[in-house]
Amino acid sequence: MTETNELVFNDEMPERYLYEMDEDKHEVALSTSDLAVYYGGDKLALSDADLKFERFKITSLIGASGSGKSTFLRSLNRMNDSVARVDGKIMYRGLNINSSDIDVYEMRKHIGMVFQRPNPFAKSIYDNITFALKQHGIRNKAELDEIVETSLRQAALWDEVKDDLNKSALALSGGQQQRLVIARAVAMKPDILLLDEPASALDPISSSKIEDTLLKLKDEYTIIIVTHNMQQAARISDYTAFFHMGKVIEYDLTRKIFTRPKVQRTIDYVNGNFG
Ligand SMILES: Nc1ncnc2c1ncn2[C@@H]1O[C@H](COP(=O)(O)OP(=O)(O)O)[C@@H](O)[C@H]1O
Ligand SMILES: [Mg+2]
């Protein structure tokens, strides 16, 4: 346990500060320890990223481009398996899901991912949501209908598409497509949703709809979101981790990161003084 606070004397600032989540008071949905990600065999792209994510909260991952946010996020549900070596532990419900004997396909039902660019299937709105469900053996029409409606409601898209469920998903606007992709992820009833800059390709109104959607979803899901938009992180997240050059430099409650960060680099970043 590093009690960084106690090491701060005479205005001397720590080089790193990671909030220590008290597991008696906060339910931890996912945690990482000794994580290290190498691309191309030996290029260390990420280390020093031991974090605990609280259940039913939103955690933002912020930092400059290339600081390792996506590398970290994608490691959490093993999306890096084919491109990188990932060492360390990722603990989910008492299991190290980074171990080789984990059924990755099964694990991703619990830990879903939404990417930066909306990637609906070239199918109807309805089929986008039911495709994976059917593959997992759900065939009952009434049950599928119910899940389609619930997930579209959760993703704040139902009112806009309820009369057009057979329309191609590709005919939706970018913002609607992204909410459809969120609905598709939610339909699998995951515990944890990982989102990599889900609103960055969208206009401000669509982006704010995504934010509203995430705030609603946090009643039922643990959300970890990469965003390069600091206002967005400040608006929606409970916790924020600041990445710099492949390490987490500071992790704390969002309000602390944006009002009283403890590390000089974080201060520079949130004040826009970075180059
Ligand atoms: N597939 C990859 N192969 C090799 N290097 C990669 C790959 N993906 C990311 N990197 C490198 O890892 C570092 C972190 O990248 P990334 O995680 O994408 O940062 P961010 O999401 O914060 O912009 C960068 O130096 C980037 O060039
Ligand atoms: Mg990225």
Taking 70 as the threshold, does the pLDDT of residue 6 lie above it?
no
Taking 50 as the threshold, does the pLDDT of residue 226 lie above it?
yes
Q: Name the pairing type of β-strands 84-92 and 58-63.
A: unpaired
Mutate to test the pocket of ligand 1, among 67, 71, 225 (most ligand atoms within 8 A of CB): 71
The reply to whether 145 falls in a domain is yes
The reply to whether 111 falls in a domain is yes
Domain count for the chain, please give it. Answer: 1
- Ligand minimally distant from the alpha carbon of residue 72: 1
Tell me which residue of 185, 28, 166 sits closest to 119, measured CA to CA: 185
Residue 272: predicted pLDDT:
86
The reply to whether 3 falls in a domain is no
Taking 90 as the threshold, does the pLDDT of residue 5 lie above it?
no
Distance 7 CA to ligand 2 centre (A): 33
The reply to whether 10 falls in a domain is no
Taking 50 as the threshold, does the pLDDT of residue 1 lie above it?
no
Mutate to test the pocket of ligand 1, among 35, 37, 38, 39 (most ligand atoms within 8 A of CB): 39
Tell me, using a 6 A CB cutoff, whether residue 198 lines ligand 1: no
Query: Is the CB of residue 63 less than 8 Å from the CB of residue 244?
Result: yes
Taking 60 as the threshold, does the pLDDT of residue 9 lie above it?
no
For ligand 1, what atom is nearest to the CA of residue 67? Answer: 22
Tell me which residue of 151, 210, 214, 127 sits closest to 175, measured CA to CA: 210
Q: 183 exposed, middle or buried (CB, 10 Å; 0-12, 13-18, 19+)?
A: buried
- Non-local (6+) Cβ contacts of 192 within 8 A are 29, 30, 53, 76, 92, 110, 111, 112, 221, 222, 223, 224
The reply to whether 4 falls in a domain is no
- Tell me the pLDDT tens digit for each residue of 173-213: 999 999 999 999 999 999 999 999 999 988 999 999 999 99
Tell me, using a 6 A CB cutoff, whether residue 71 lines ligand 1: yes
Residue 7: predicted pLDDT:
46
CATH of the domain at 251: 3.40.50.300
- Ligand minimally distant from the alpha carbon of residue 79: 1
The reply to whether 55 falls in a domain is yes
The reply to whether 180 falls in a domain is yes
Helix residue ranges per DSSP H, 77-203: 104-110, 125-135, 141-154, 158-161, 174-187
The reply to whether 7 falls in a domain is no
pTM, to two decimals: 0.93
User: Which residues are close to ligand 2, an ion, with C-beta < 5 A?
Assistant: 70
Taking 60 as the threshold, does the pLDDT of residue 2 lie above it?
no
- Give nearest CA residue, ligand 1 atom 27: 66
Domain range holding 187?
Answer: 17-271
- Give nearest CA residue, ligand 1 atom 4: 39
Tell me, using a 6 A CB cutoff, whether residue 237 lines ligand 1: no
Q: Which residues pair with 30 in a beta bridge?
A: 53
